[in-house]
Amino acid sequence: MIVLMVVGVLAVSAAEQAKVQAPAYAKKQAIFAFVGLAAFVATTLVPYQRFGRAAYPLFALTLGLLVAVLFLPPIRYCNRWIPLGPVQIQPSEIAKIAYIILLAWYLRYRDNYRRLLGMFVPFALTLVPIVLILKEPDLGTSLLFLPTLYVMLFMAGAKWRHLLGIVAVATAILFMPVPMRTGANAGGETDVERRALAYWTFRRGQSEYAAIAAPLAIMKPHQLRRIDGWLRQGDVRLSLERGLHLRRSKTMLGAGEVAGAGNWEDAQTYMSLLPESRTDFIFSIAAGRWGFLGCLGILAMYAVIFVFGVEIAVVTHDPFGRLLAVGMLALLLTQIFINIGMTMGLMPITGMTLPLVSYGGSSLVVNCAALGLLVNVGMRRPILLAKRPFEHGPKREKPLAVRTMAQEPAGAALRER
């Protein structure tokens, strides 16, 4: 964790050097790192069961913050931050941990989620923060909740057919064609983007319609442009317009070559052209600065956290502790996958930070607190006095095999003596 935070400070410093008259983001990131270490220590000192007992009040407080931020003046055209003096708090980051604690506490002794109707409450608890975060809007953070829910439900013993059935129904709804009226008199710029992403277009009378996927019907023009640029990366014209951010990110990924020994002056030029380089595209900055081997080193540090996190989850028999550890790991891995995937063109560009590396106080402190809870579970493993958690149904003992002397291999009876 400390190594990744140091890498983040150095990467932010590299991005800062490429900008002209840029603020001292690297110094601020170093201060955030010390605050994150304090949050890590604090979450390891308090027994994790106490966090579980406060799960519902903590979740309610978080929802209150998510509602309150919608009524504050927007910052950079978004309602994501609550200003508190010299710092800004992002409630959606706090919501991630509060949600995992609540879900782990809710699922710890139940088995109703093994029925299809029993999944209603976990999905309802998940959709409430997703809707509030999408209102900000913050599409990237909202994408983290459903994968975390599925991993925790699976580890708690939910049935495969229920989980896959819900995915199939949701996929059918998401890709269901929705006809929308387009044209000069309908929605202006948004219609141009939607026609580009439509399954097909048709006319009825004097009106023109486009059949598009259901989520695209509610997306804003800049989000539609990002998806269009991602789907048509091979189109040179689009790569210089709506796909420009992705093109520059992929250029930076190759600028560092194998060991970061490429032309650093050219890499700095690319950095100065890359938007949000210190936050969303920090992985591209690291690739341009330290090359392919540097990227492997970053992934290796994440692998260390994952391996030890899995070990903690496996040996912990307390249901709440195991689900808490699994939820934190799922949150971390989903965030890493989405951020690195979007910088490489494997996923659409969304506002997603790279854990422990990207610039941002709320993100860094929350991720340190999440790892503190993971270590907390590893430090406090209660004695198991009942059956192992999440072993549903009667456990059948295997019958002992009775073999006659004639069935024994040669010399077996002598070895028994």
Residue 143 CA to residue 348 CA, distance in Å, equals 12
Q: Which residues contact 268 (CB under 8 A, 6 or more apart)?
A: 17, 18
The predicted model scores a pTM of: 0.83
407 lies in a domain? no
229 lies in a domain? no
Give the model confidence (pLDDT) of 128-150 as tens digits.
999 999 888 888 888 899 999 99
The residue type at 65:
L
CB 218 within 8 A of CB 187: no
190 lies in a domain? no
pLDDT band at 374 (very low <50, low <70, confident <90, very high): very high
275 lies in a domain? yes
Structure tokens at 270: 């690319």
pLDDT at 168 over 70: yes
Question: Mind giving me the DSSP string for 338-382?
Answer: HHHHHHHTSS---S-PPTTTSS-HHHHHHHHHHHHHHHHHHH--P
Instruction: Please name the helix (run of DSSP H) or strand (run of DSSP E) that holds residue 87, with its range, or none.
Output: strand 87-89
Residue in this structure with the two tokens 């996923």, named with its chain if needed: 347
Residue 270 CA to residue 252 CA, distance in Å, equals 6
Give the model confidence (pLDDT) of 263-278 as tens digits.
556 666 666 677 777 8
Residue 155 CA to residue 174 CA, distance in Å, equals 26
CB 362 within 8 A of CB 89: yes
**Pairing verdict, β 177-182 and 207-213:** antiparallel
Structure tokens at 64: 């209150």
Q: What percent of the residues of the chain are helix, what percent strand, and what percent coil, each to the nearest 5?
A: 65, 5, 30
206 lies in a domain? no
- The per-residue pLDDT for 79 is 84
- Over range 37-65, report the average pLDDT: 93
- The per-residue pLDDT for 190 is 61
> Hey, how many other C-beta atoms are within 10 angstroms of the C-beta on 53?
11
Q: Where do the H-state alpha helices sit in 135-159?
A: 139-142, 145-156
Which region among 56-70, 89-103, 359-373, 376-390 has the lowest average model confidence (pLDDT)?
A: 376-390
pLDDT at 407 over 50: no
Q: Give the total number of structural domains in the chain.
A: 1
Partner residues linked to 344 by β-bridges: none
Instruction: Please name the helix (run of DSSP H) or strand (run of DSSP E) that holds residue 178, with its range, or none.
Output: strand 177-182
Structural Rg of the chain based on CA atoms: 25
Question: Domain range holding 85?
Answer: 2-172+244-392
CB 282 within 8 A of CB 354: yes
- The per-residue pLDDT for 101 is 95
3-state secondary structure of 36: helix
Residue 99 CA to residue 93 CA, distance in Å, equals 10
pLDDT at 185 over 50: no
